[in-house]
Amino acid sequence: MTSKSCKVNATEISLVRGDITRQDVGAIVNAANSSLLGGGGVDGAIHRAGGPAILDECKQILAIQGKCRAGEAVITGGGNLKAKFVIHTVGPIWRGGASNEEKTLASAYNQSLLLAEQYEVKTVAFPSISTGAYGFPIDKAARIAVAVAREFCSGHNSRGEIRFVLFDDRTYEFFKSALDE
């Protein structure tokens, strides 16, 4: 398997080519939409693989706290997945770059990492948020993802792993360049 990693403080930041639904980790992150009711891309794949329990929990969250805004994150169980939890975060839709997209993407990663920490998850796996249907340029998105992970590790000395699970070669290569910088 293609993979690469580096260590910041006690945490490993790693990159792998693969399918996030198959990761044997404490939590996987879903690039959800604000409705939390599922969609295409990685969101659809996670709900298909995880079964209806995840959607039921998303509906309960929706009923209690309303839609999940871009940059925010919520957590459910992992249903039939190997992962114990799914962290659902909403990335920004790319509108040209002048609508706070970069900050919102950083927040989506950061809020997800905070939830993982709160639930004592040792290994959390992320897809490349917002770079599919939401159209965020991959070069910028990869740099933001890696920078947030690095900054989080610098500020938190917990032993664990932040894993980026990239679905295609192109996305993997951009993350690799960002990690090499």
Instruction: Give the active site residues.
Output: 43
Tell whether residue 133 is a contact of ligand ADP (CB under 6 A): yes
Tell whether residue 134 is a contact of ligand ADP (CB under 6 A): yes
Tokens of 115: 């939830």
Q: Which residues contact 63 (CB under 8 A, 6 or more apart)?
A: none
Pick the stretch among 4-12, 66-74, 147-155, 161-169 that binds ligand ADP (CB under 6 A).
Answer: 161-169
Which of 13, 15, 16, 20: binder of ligand ADP (CB under 6 A)?
20
**C-alpha span between 5 and 119 (Å, rounded):** 24
Tell whether residue 8 is a contact of ligand ADP (CB under 6 A): no
Residues 71-110 that bind ligand ADP (CB under 6 A): 91
Which of 16, 27, 31, 116: binder of ligand ADP (CB under 6 A)?
31
- Minimum CB distance to ligand ADP smaller for 22 or for 156: 22
Q: How far is the CB of 180 from ligand ADP (least distance, A)?
A: 19
Which of 13, 16, 43, 179: binder of ligand ADP (CB under 6 A)?
43
Neighbours of 65 (CB within 10 A): 11
**C-alpha span between 170 and 104 (Å, rounded):** 23
If you search the block for the tokens 């790319």, which residue do you land on?
94
Angle at 159 between CA 21 and CA 92, to 5 degrees: 45
User: Where does 61-167 show beta strands of DSSP type E?
Assistant: 73-77, 85-90, 123-126, 160-166
Sequence letter at residue 127: P
Which of 70, 74, 75, 129: binder of ligand ADP (CB under 6 A)?
129
**C-alpha span between 14 and 25 (Å, rounded):** 13
Pick the stretch among 39-47, 59-67, 95-103, 142-150 that binds ligand ADP (CB under 6 A).
Answer: 39-47
Tokens of 137: 């340029």
Pick the stretch among 8-16, 57-65, 66-74, 167-175 that binds ligand ADP (CB under 6 A).
Answer: 167-175
Binding site for ligand ADP (CB under 6 A): 19-21, 31, 41-43, 45, 91, 127-134, 165, 167-168, 171
